[in-house]
Amino acid sequence: MKHLFRTPYRRNDGVVKLVSRLKVLITVQVLVRFFASLRMTVHIICCVCQREWWNLTIPTFTHLTNMEGIRELEN
């Protein structure tokens, strides 16, 4: 009886291994795509924030240098 019960499992063993490998491959693909899209999203956010930061910083910096220039002219 043990032999009869063991045989179907041995036949299905290859199928089980194949299915588990497919699950692992699909999971890895999903994770890779998720992290790639996440990295792209972070990159876009950083670019936008950096652009905003530059827009905020450069005019302020130029404004300050212009004010110093005006003060020097007044003196």
Find how far residue 49's CA is from the centre of its chain: 16
**What band does 26 get if pLDDT is binned at 50, 70 and 90?**
very high
pLDDT in tens, 41-75: 888 887 777 666 555 555 555 555 555 555 555 55
The share of the chain scoring above pLDDT 70, in percent, equals 49
Block residue for tokens 């002219």 = 73
Task: Write down the pLDDT at residue 42.
Answer: 84
pTM over 0.85: no
CA distance 57 to 71: 21
CA distance 19 to 8: 16
DSSP string spanning 24-41?
HHHHHHHHHHHHHHHHHH
Block residue for tokens 């005019």 = 59
